[in-house]
Each structure stands twice: as C-alpha cells, then as structure tokens.
Amino acid sequence: MLKINNVTKTYGDSVKYQALKGIDLEVKKGEFVGVMGPSGSGKSTLLNLIGTIDKPTSGSITLDGSEPAKLNQEELAKFRRNQLGFVFQSFNLMPTLTVEENIVLPLTLDGEKVSVMKKALYEVAVTLGIESLLKKRIATISGGQAQRVAIARAMIHQPKLVLADEPTGNLDTKSSRDVMGLLSRLNQEEESTILMVTHDPFAASYCEKIIFIKDGELVQEIYNNGNRREFYDVILENLRQLEGDVDEI
C-alpha cells in the first residue's frame, strides 16, 4: 500500500545535510509499523515525507499508486485530508472547541453533510469509548482523553494511513497503555494501517513490525511473534545495540 523507494532527503542550501540516505520500505494494508532510532537519525524527516509535509530530494513515495510529491498545493491539501490521519505527541487539538467539534473538523473542512458527520462521529466515539466527552471543551479533559480524541479525529474519515508521532510522549503509564491498546485494537479490528514513530519501547511493543533507523539509513527490521513481553525484550536489545554503536563512535 505504502511504497518508499530509495528516498533521500538533503536539508540546506549552502551547508547541506543528508538526513535520509536511500530508504526502501513497504507497508502493507492493515500493518502496524513502528519506527525507532537514536535522536537525529531521521525518523521525523521520514514521517514528514510520508505525511506530505515535505518532499523527498530523490526517490519516490507512493500511497496506493498515487505519488503525492507530484500533486499541486491544492491537490496535496486534499490528499492529506482524505488519505491520511495524523496523531501527534502534543495532540494538536483546538482548545476552545468541544471534543465533538474537534473530531468532525476534517469532515467540516471537506464540506461534508451534517447527517454524514453525525453518523461518523457517533461510530468513532463508540469505538473509542468517548461518547460521554463529546460536549466537553478540550481544555477540561485529561491528556489520555485528549489523545483518544486526537485518534478519533485522525480516524473519522477512515484514512488509508494513520501517521502517529510519539503518541504516548506526553502521557503517563496508564494512559499510554490505554492509547496503545486502542491503536492496536483499531489496527486489528478496523484494519487501520498505522505508522508510528516512538522512542518508547513499551509503546513500540504493540507494533507488528519495527524498523530501526540510524544516521538516515534503515539498519534493522524486527517482527512481533505475538508475544508482546518477548517483543519488548527484543526491542530493548536492539536499542541497546544501536546505542552501543553510537557510544563506540
């Protein structure tokens, strides 16, 4: 579904910095993929390219055969709104609006009919267990609840791909567990395709596959055999090895 073909990204005009050096990656429909790696390794850069926030310097990224880098500004905005869902560490919700106003925002922007919006809102609210929060203002709910709302907003238009950037970064242990359980359930029951950048081995243990990036290169790929506890240990071991390499340098 998502195909990343020999993608590079170089920042800067006079002083150049190559943040990604030829990334190849394929994400299948319904997969839950984690992206890990040391600080500065290029994780956010990769997510920004997939999220069409930025364009690759060379190589191609296609989602179900279409290549967003070739679209004009207007087409790109539409592509982003229709095909992608974003979940951020900082939730990125509108604090003065209510929970339900925030969740339907992507549909409002698309000029969707009120009856369609109501139906979609109800469905997503039930799935995420946030019916009782709908009339509350964002400023009055907890961080864990806010992340549920952000996930609802990312999911309401049934995007092809959900991009999550450190979704548990601002959450306590219990809320992290809830949010990861939720993402995992959405992945399994609704067959949502999710790509998540995280530093958190616990959050990563919910993924089916994790790719490790170092110095702009994909260096390792590991798979979850269904035992989350075991997978967590494998993740820690891989992180230790990556950091060990960094220490040696």
Ligand X SMILES: Nc1ncnc2c1ncn2[C@@H]1O[C@H](COP(=O)(O)OP(=O)(O)OP(=O)(O)O)[C@@H](O)[C@H]1O
Find out whether 192 and 17 touch, Cβ atoms under 8 Å.
no
What does the angle CA 137 – CA 123 – CA 79 come to, to the nearest 5 degrees?
85
Question: To the nearest whole angstrom, how small is the minimum distance from the Cβ of residue 227 to ligand X?
Answer: 27
**CB nearer ligand X, residue 39 or residue 173:** 39
Tokens read off for 10 = 């170089």
Question: To the nearest whole angstrom, how small is the minimum distance from the Cβ of residue 51 to ligand X?
Answer: 12
Of 21-29, 34-42, 227-235, 241-249: span binding ligand X (CB under 6 A): 34-42
**CB nearer ligand X, residue 17 or residue 174:** 17
Of 24-32, 36-44, 73-81, 129-137: span binding ligand X (CB under 6 A): 36-44
**CB nearer ligand X, residue 12 or residue 226:** 12
Of 32-40, 69-77, 123-131, 231-239: span binding ligand X (CB under 6 A): 32-40
Q: Is 243 in the site for ligand X (CB under 6 A)?
A: no
Q: How many CB atoms sit inside 10 A of residue 82's CB?
A: 13
Could you write out the three-class secondary structure of 83-147? HEEEEECCCCCCCCCEHHHHHHHHHHHCCCCHHHHHHHHHHHHHHHCCHHHCCCEHHHCCHHHHH
Question: To the nearest whole angstrom, how small is the minimum distance from the Cβ of residue 91 to ligand X?
Answer: 17
Query: Which H or E run contains 217?
Result: strand 217-223
CA distance 177 to 166: 13
Find out whether 193 and 17 touch, Cβ atoms under 8 Å.
no
How many residues sit in the footprint of ligand X (CB under 6 A)? 12
**CB nearer ligand X, residue 127 or residue 170:** 170
Question: To the nearest whole angstrom, how small is the minimum distance from the Cβ of residue 166 to ligand X?
Answer: 8
What does the DSSP assignment read for 198-210?
-S-HHHHTTSSEE
**CB nearer ligand X, residue 21 or residue 185:** 21
Per-residue binder mask for ligand X (CB under 6 A), 39-58, x = binder: xxxxxxx-------------
Question: To the nearest whole angstrom, how small is the minimum distance from the Cβ of residue 43 to ligand X?
Answer: 4
Question: To the nearest whole angstrom, how small is the minimum distance from the Cβ of residue 118 to ligand X?
Answer: 38
Question: To the nearest whole angstrom, how small is the minimum distance from the Cβ of residue 246 to ligand X?
Answer: 12
Distance of CA 187 to the CA centre of its chain: 12
| Sign, CA torsion 131/132/137/142 | negative
Residues in contact with ligand X by the rule CB under 6 A: 11-12, 17, 19, 37, 39-45
